Structure 1
Amino acid sequence: MTTILQNSPSATFTLDHVFKFPQIFTANPDNVRHILKTHFDNYPKGNFFISTVFDFLGNGIFSVDGESWKFQRQVSSHAFNTKSLRKFVETVVDTELHDRLIPILSDSDKTVLDFQDVLQRFAFDNVCNIAFGFDPACLLPSLPETEFAVAFEEATNLSSERFRSVWWRWKIFRFFNVGWEKSLKIAVSKVHGFAKKIVREKKQELAENSCLESPDLLSRFLSSGHSDEDFVMDIVISFILAGRDTTSAALTWFFWLLHKHPEVENEILKEIKEKSDMPVFEEVKDMIYTHASLCESMRLYPPVPADNKQAINDDVWPDGTVVKKGTVITYHPYAMGRMEKIWGSDWAEFKPERWLKRDEEGKWSFVGRDSYSYPVFQAGPRICLGKDMAFLQMKRVVAGVLRRFKVVPAVEDGSEPVLIAYLTTKMKDGFPVRIEERGKLD
């Protein structure tokens, strides 16, 4: 898809499927702005996307439109204010980092770890804490296979398979309860059963103490007057999906790129040393070079490689593309990160400096790009609520890990990981690494 978009005059092409919805792909920032902002109301998630993920995500925020989406976004926004973000970094993330992640890396003794799996466990514990007020303890030294986490991973991957199949095929499999649809049904049942148990326990907790000092996301929704277990369960499952898979995917690719570019790692180490005496929250907020490096990594490997909408009415895009009612629209962050028209002739280079400029004193300052050229966190009314939380969490992990360790891929020189696109980007067969203790930064 990227190659086709790179060679299309306006970075847009129409794909005429057999037995599927017509589909248009675009990596054109003007078109993306048109879809995500200017004509937002004409491009909801739509029936194609909603029906494909409904069994897993139900009526959660990422798979609904209209008033239900607005309500969920409004209630959720309170979980992302400055006070909540500070608490998340200083308690949830920092505790998981020091009590679980660092000891596991320290005790690895240069044995091979699947760092993708470790980072997923780290993110899963964090998001369950902030969403449910529940600790699944996936990142214990034994790296336990908890039923909820395993079922969640399987449900995510098998739901993604539906996008690769023609709609009637997976619906036939589902009707007869065979093949991967049977496995998906089992996995979803386990996820829903466990989530409902947590919802009931939280209801009981709120009944006994209706004024929690620091309410989690689940408490906020239950306190908003919505007590339907299925509805609240769908909301929280969507947030777990977003919080677990996106940050872990971004960090997995980041640590691989960092090993390939030791000069970038050295700059980050300098920054970590400079900020080491600051309080945790201020430290991660002020890590400018690390922030730029994460942005650059996600340019090349966005956690969500492509996203779908569906046209309600006929339309014409800024580049002249004619869109018919019912057409599935896919804007493509993965391809957009590889467009020479957006990033220049050096687009293939991992170059954090493209996000930076030096001030008169020689210090770095961050130079952002508009979210329609870089829609890694979506853009417009549906821009990601958790963007700041994700950056704070990732920067805290980077600082905590690199201060103590060097992450070395356990692969043959010259070999490249294979990208697979489920609902998020992952490395096929994981990310095998060896952890080496680093000398004290001085």
Structure 2
Amino acid sequence: MLSYILNLLPLTPFTPSPSTISTIQTPSPLIHAASTAQPALSPVSNIQGHAYNRFIQIWLENTDYSLAAGDPSIAWLSTHGITLTNYWAVTHPSQPNYLASVSGDHFGLSSDGYIAVPSNIATVADLLDTKGISWGEYQEDMPYAGFKYISYENPQNGKDDYVRKHNPLIMLESVTQNDTRLSLIKSFTSFASDLAAETLPQWAFITPNMTNDGHDSSITTAALWARRFLKPLLSNAYFMKDTLVLLTFDENEHYESPNQVFSLLLGGAVPEASKGSEDDTFYTHYSALSSLQANFGLPSLGRWDCGANIFALVADKVGYANWAVDTTGLDFSHSYPGPMSPIESQQAWPVPNTNAKCAAGYGVLGKVVTAWGKSDGSLNYTNPYPYDDGSGTDAGGSVSSPRNAPASPPSAPYPHPTSHTRSLSM
């Protein structure tokens, strides 16, 4: 009996119409050969940040806020961190949320099918590389570093333990076409060895398998996994030192409900006095990017990360005042038209805002400006939440003056977000 099934990538670039994915069965010697040809790399760095020196994201799956908040394992974890009570996913289904978290936009994606984002679309990896900040991913049950295929099936139970749609950086050709970068997309085996060797990167994205993340199981299973995974780490001096962990969910379960998800900040970067507290500031998945940029002094991608609110833990350190957002009329349950939408295709890729200083105050990545030229952007990327006037997607809601600030954020003396669909009280 064959021990696993690999689903091959298409060889053609992404088009809005669905691609045909072929399936092959591969003998284990080929897996072994591939794993030795693509070794895992674990570069280290020690770049100092304002609020943390290491940022780790752990994503669970498809759970409504109230259900997650009511789980006893989540409740236990909450006593060790800051609960973000106003944190939102950006669309449905899973894959566009993962993509958005590293590229600052989902580009209209509204499916979990195979995608390959062109290499001229900048990512968080490009931002980190500007300062030599080490980064990597840890994907549970990925058979070897840089695995590009659609899924990996567990030989014991036949389940698709690893799936590509939950691996954000593997969706990007700027990663898959670079062997060094591919070597940083690793398995949980590498996490264990990197932890033991004290070679964890300063930015990491962790995805449990399809059972442990709750996708094919339940919130009880996912939350218990998270507690068991994090509990020893919360007492590990090396791991905890200046580390900020974001535990979140990709999306809620019920598409008819507003797409708010339970999220929690943990780690040694969380002040002792803040543990067990709540933060009701409006955040989205894009806030992880804007917070990273503010923390390390990095440029923006010029997309929805540009205007996204910054985690208060970081904002307080850099003197940034977050926007107050009235979420009435917002649900973030649909993708607006874009080049990756199989339904409402808009062939042109949206132009980033390359003129803004953005929330972090460091402008836009130089390679983005070079690639796209000077522009205010196709969309209002300086707004603290994503919307599209043309399709009416999340065009409701309103934004008011930065919280606790009568004028512009002190660290960011540039224009406020503006939109003719919402009133701004300055």
Tell me the TM-score normalized by structure 2. 0.26
Q: Which has the higher strand share?
A: 2
Tell me the TM-score normalized by structure 1. 0.25
Q: Which has the higher helix share?
A: 1
Q: Which has the higher contact order (CA 8 A, sep 6+)?
A: 1
